[in-house]
């Protein structure tokens, strides 16, 4: 896979008054509400420009009121009336539709949290990056679906991309310990999810409630299922490849069930620098919010004596076929990760809807990759529209393959 991105670099994200103007895309979600929590504790340090959601109008209106935001947007037009109603008398402007979400990203905030879930987050996140501001990037699909395009655009427009995903935030912090050319390996840790110790046969029959029980993290449903299949680590490998311009051979996954060490960087002299913290997304979000400084964080401070021991295991490619598919897309490069991501989104939605068994998720992703490769449809996307075209093509292939794979998965 080709390395395309620039170094992450500082920008003037804070105005001369010291007040940071922020926008939260995906404010009602898991990362969004953690961000909102930190903003509320900010004691006037932040001015909130815009907040967005999909259709959760009542919660969004409450967030907009609490944060005294200027603009609130629901992507789904059918939720507009409810939003407008819930904001009445507040003086907060309401809008709806995809274009309005992009407008929210384009409004003049100098720090934008990109926490919409899924590839629908691509266009608004890119719109924010094109303003050359700081983008706190939680939406991993931006990098998985169109990583080359996104990082090139961010560099061209002078945006600063700060990684919110806990592993990448950890690696970002550990990378300050030495020059980039002296990095020999980057290690992404994985909790192993709820099925870490299950046999492959038992996993094939896993129920939705079981897959949604993450041992350490509280997250949105899509990423929680991805943690159970370990597709989340695959997305994170691709994310790391683009964010840190690192070759796939230098990227490794290490299972660490306690989720205390979030990422490590090994340097050529053998030194390994790790970042540790409680498994609470408010730690990496606070890091991005204050960067390059630090702020007080509400997350529980780490008590290693109480935790007692940290353990590690090699990832099991046999029981977690997602990991082998991940290696395959990293080696193929181009749009292969885009195809994997789209097929996985279709598969996870089908699993949540009870239309495919747990083991069918990786089967469907593998079959979609085979079909896309047979069509020679994995060339590197040159722009967002090309990436989205591959995304749509892969979704349609996955939908076509779904009945056959689903039938074998129960
Ligand atoms: P959630 O599902 O909890 O929240 C998603 C947010 O996006 C909600 O605000 C939702 O609005 C909004 N949204 C959903 N669909 C659309 C749409 N079509 N148009 C506009 N907005 C939409 O997700 P998470 O917070 O868990 O994750 C967000 C992103 O961050 C994902 O890409 C995930 O991979 C990544 N991430 C998450 C982590 C976590 O700890 N949760 C950790 C690392 C990365 P509504 O409430 O109205 O549905
Ligand atoms: Mg993560």
Residue 245 in domain: no
Q: Evaluate: CB of 239 within 6 angstroms of ligand 1.
A: no
The residue nearest atom 31 of ligand 1, judged by CA position, is: 117
Is 219 domain-assigned? no
Instruction: Tell me, using a 6 A CB cutoff, whether residue 139 lines ligand 1.
Output: yes
Token pair recorded at residue 310: 């940290």
Kindly state whether residue 146 falls inside one of the protein's structural domains. yes
Strand pairing category for 134-137 and 160-163: parallel
Ligand nearest to the CA of 25: 1
The verdict on the CB of residue 30 being under 6 Å from ligand 1 is: yes
pLDDT score of 10: 43
Question: Does residue 319 lie in a domain region?
Answer: no
369 Cβ inside 6 Å of ligand 1: no
Instruction: Please identify which residue in the block is written with the tokens 């401070």.
Output: 301
What CATH number did the domain enclosing 44 receive? Answer: 3.40.50.720
Q: Is any atom of ligand 1 closer than 6 Å to the C-beta of 140?
A: yes
pTM of the model: 0.95
Judge if the beta carbon of residue 120 lies within 6 A of ligand 1.
yes
- Phi-psi category of residue 408: left, alpha or beta, with phi > 0 → left and psi -120 to 50 → alpha: alpha
Residue at 78 is within a domain: yes
Q: What is the pLDDT of residue 393?
A: 98
Ligand 2 centroid distance, CA of 138 (Å): 9
CA–CA separation, 316 and 23 (whole Å): 40
Is 29 a member of any domain?
yes
Is there a domain that residue 398 lies in?
no
82 lines ligand 1 (CB under 6 A): no
Protein residue whose Cα sits closest to atom 15 of ligand 1: 54
- Residue 95 Cβ inside 6 Å of ligand 1? The answer reads no
Give the model's pLDDT for residue 221: 93
Which atom of ligand 1 lies at the shortest distance from residue 79's CA? 47
Residue 24 lies in a domain: yes
Cα 149 to Cα 117, 126, 137, 243, 401: the distances in Å are: 19, 9, 15, 12, 28
Residue with tokens 């290696």: 327
* Atom number, ligand 1, closest to the C-alpha of residue 139: 32
| Ligand nearest the Cα atom of residue 137 | 1
Say what the pLDDT of residue 404 is. Answer: 98
Contacts of 44 (CB under 8 A, 6+ apart): 19
Kindly give the distance from the C-alpha atom of residue 121 to the centroid of ligand 1, in angstroms, as a whole number. Answer: 9
Number of domains in the chain: 1
Written as tens digits, the pLDDT of the chain (410 aa) is 444 344 444 444 455 567 899 999 999 999 999 999 999 999 889 999 999 999 999 999 999 999 999 999 999 999 999 999 999 999 999 999 999 999 999 999 999 999 999 889 999 999 999 999 999 999 998 999 999 999 999 999 999 999 999 999 999 999 999 999 999 999 999 999 999 999 999 999 999 999 999 999 989 999 999 999 999 999 999 999 999 999 999 999 999 999 999 999 999 999 999 999 999 999 999 999 999 999 999 999 999 999 999 999 999 999 999 999 999 999 999 999 999 999 999 999 999 999 999 999 999 999 999 999 999 999 999 999 999 999 999 999 999 999 999 999 99
How many residues are given for the chain? 410
Ligand 2 centre and the CA of 288: distance in Å?
15
pLDDT number for residue 5: 43
- Structural domain that includes position 94: 20-164
Residue nearest to atom 26 of ligand 1 (CA): 220
182 vs 141: CA distance, rounded Å? 29
Any atom of ligand 1 within 6 Å of the Cβ of 165: yes
């Amino acid at each position: 896979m080709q390395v395309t991105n620039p170094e992450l670099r500082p920008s003037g994200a804070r105005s001369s008054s010291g007040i940071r103007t922020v926008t939260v895309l995906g404010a009602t979600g898991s990362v969004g509400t953690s961000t909102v929590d930190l903003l509320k504790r900010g004691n006037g340090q932040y001015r909130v420009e815009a907040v967005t959601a999909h259709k959760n109008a009542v919660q969004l209106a409450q967030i907009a009121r609490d944060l005294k935001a200027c603009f609130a947007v629901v992507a789904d037009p059918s939720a507009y009336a409810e939003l407008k109603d819930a904001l009445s008398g507040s003086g907060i402007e309401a809008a709806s539709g995809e274009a309005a979400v992009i407008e929210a990203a384009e409004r003049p905030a100098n720090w934008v949290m990109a926490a919409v879930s899924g590839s629908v987050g691509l266009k608004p996140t890119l719109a924010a990056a094109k303003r050359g501001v700081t983008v706190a990037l939680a939406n991993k699909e931006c990098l998985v679906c169109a990583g080359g395009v996104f990082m090139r655009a961010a560099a061209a427009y002078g945006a600063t991309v700060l990684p919110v995903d806990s592993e990448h935030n950890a690696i970002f912090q550990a990378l300050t310990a030495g020059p980039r050319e002296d990095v020999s390996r980057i290690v992404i840790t994985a909790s192993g999810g709820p099925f870490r110790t299950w046999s492959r046969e038992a996993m094939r029959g896993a129920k939705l409630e079981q897959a949604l029980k993450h041992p350490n993290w509280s997250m949105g449903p899509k990423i929680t299922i991805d943690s159970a299949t370990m597709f989340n680590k695959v997305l994170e490998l691709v994310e790391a490849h683009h964010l840190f311009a690192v070759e796939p051979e230098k990227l490794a996954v290490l299972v660490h069930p306690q989720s205390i060490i979030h990422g490590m960087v090994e340097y050529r002299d053998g030194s390994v620098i790790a970042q540790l913290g409680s498994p609470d997304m408010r730690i990496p979000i606070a890091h991005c919010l204050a960067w390059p400084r630090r702020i007080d964080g509400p997350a529980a401070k780490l008590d290693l004596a109480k935790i007692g021991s940290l353990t590690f295991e090699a990832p099991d490619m046999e029981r977690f076929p997602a990991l082998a598919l991940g290696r395959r897309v990293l080696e193929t490069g181009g749009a292969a990760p885009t195809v994997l991501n789209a097929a996985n989104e279709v598969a996870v939605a089908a699993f949540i809807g009870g239309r495919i068994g747990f083991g069918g998720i990786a089967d469907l992703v593998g079959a979609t990759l085979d079909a896309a490769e047979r069509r020679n449809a994995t060339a590197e996307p040159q722009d967002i529209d090309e990436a989205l075209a591959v995304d749509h093509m892969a979704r349609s292939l996955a939908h076509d393959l779904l009945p056959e794979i689903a039938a074998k998965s129960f």
